[in-house]
Amino acid sequence: MQNRNIQFQSFVSTNRWAIVGNRGNPLLTYGYKIREKCKHVIAQQLHDAQHIAILHALVLGDKSGLDLELKQTFTDTGTMHVLAVSGLHVGIVYLLTSHLLNFLFLRKLKLLRTILGLLIVWSFALVSGLSPSVCRACFMFSVLSIGLELNRVSSTYNSLCFAGFVLLSINPLNLFNVGFQFSFLAVLGIVVLQKPIRNVVTTENYVLGKLADLLAVSLSAQLATLPLGLFYFGQFPWLFLVSNLLVIPVVTILVYASISLFICHKLPIVVDIITKTLEIYLWFVLRVTELIQSIPLALINNVSITSIELCLLFGIIWSLGAYMLKKSIQALVVMGLLCLGLIGNQGIRRYQNVTSTEVIRFDIKNAKCVILRNGQTSYLLSNENMTSKKWAFHCKPYLSFKGVSDLAMPRSDNQSMVNAFSIRQDTFHVSNDSRWANERSPRSAERSTLFQSVYLPR
């Protein structure tokens, strides 16, 4: 929350507060009003709750309607980025705008075409919430358009640095925004890695060439953001190439159809055709993602890396990029050394996890949770008012980082078990009649006597 410049929070009952005025940014307020009108149009024409939630996220940047199951489906298949308005969506709108304004072909109207195009792109950014990834894309397209207007070839690296400089000047805390980090790294990965990856496959077939282009872009962006994905989310979708290959072209159609719906929602026959088109393609996106998610081993999860391992992974990937660009032997040597460092650091950390014992008390609102971890095994000593959601959010990431093999929420046979243990100096004691068990290992309760007295590490 501090990274969003929110220093304090308070909980107030619904009948104890009231809106007395609005002193917010009038431009942002106007954008939010337009977005609410667009949401109303979508809700009027579509009837499936999941379709409405996906379209709200896809076009308007509002993910509040997505339930946890739907979010998990897109996350597990590596397509969650399509539900966050980003450079992909801005690029689609930019291409549409360019084609629609092509009738302004006279030289004296060229400036007007550029101004209108940028106004439309920035209006889309305003309605979608002005997220860092959207602003980054808009700044880059603005630099590109102005460069074309001045007959100057703009550098992608310069445009990217300019966008980052402006966004960080406005709000330095954007540097710690996960979306900001993913957005800039994905673009940098595409710029650096896309061409050498694309050159691996040579074909004269137009369709196969476009297919190879899409795969190269997806692979380069995924490689550049792989370390961050493992660091923040602890998982990696193996079938991201397949899912992106099927979903991204459909996303283009959905964005175009949604814009057409906003414009033509009062035309009876036209709106019916657009609505049916949206329903068909939304159904296709849902079925594809659910099918890929159901494939065994489609996702590697419960991966944990430290900050040092994050830096090592970045070094490995960019060393690989340097080798692909310059065919440098030195880059391969550096990559090999970094790989050895990563393996060594992982080995040391896993050995420390296996040989250590600790008692963990989690501070969770309206819940009590005390866990005994012995190596790769954990025992829940108290789960009063604990839910699976609280377990997944508060406890599971830490236990995964510590190498615990079974991350399912254990159950406690005695809700007051927290009163059955005590810590005296360096020894952890549990009363003889205390029992705790894991749902997947019911016999663990029988072995609980092994932990009646455990010496705590200093």
> pLDDT by residue for the chain (458 residues), tens digit each?
666 677 787 778 878 888 787 777 778 888 888 888 988 889 888 888 889 998 888 888 888 888 888 888 888 888 888 887 777 788 888 888 877 777 655 555 677 778 888 888 888 888 888 888 788 888 888 888 887 777 777 778 888 888 888 888 888 888 888 888 888 888 888 888 888 888 887 878 888 888 888 888 888 888 888 899 888 888 888 888 888 888 888 888 998 898 888 888 888 888 889 999 999 999 999 999 989 888 887 888 778 888 899 999 999 998 988 888 888 888 889 999 999 999 999 899 888 888 887 777 777 776 667 777 878 777 766 555 667 777 777 777 888 888 786 767 665 544 444 455 554 544 555 554 444 433 344 444 343 333 444 444 43
pLDDT value at position 421? 52
* pLDDT tens sequence across 53-63: 988 888 888 88
* Cα separation, 330 vs 235, whole angstroms: 31
* pLDDT tens sequence across 113-145: 788 888 888 888 888 888 887 888 888 888 888
pLDDT value at position 458? 39
H or E element at residue 232:
helix 206-233
- Position 144, amino acid: L
- Cα 135 to its chain centre, rounded Å, is 17
pLDDT value at position 386? 66
Pair 372, 381: CB distance under 8 Å: yes
| Cα angle 83-235-219, degrees, rounded to a multiple of 5 | 65
- Paired tokens of 410: 């254990």
Beta bridge pairs of residue 368: 363
pLDDT value at position 335? 92
pTM: 0.76
pLDDT value at position 350? 87
pLDDT value at position 3? 67
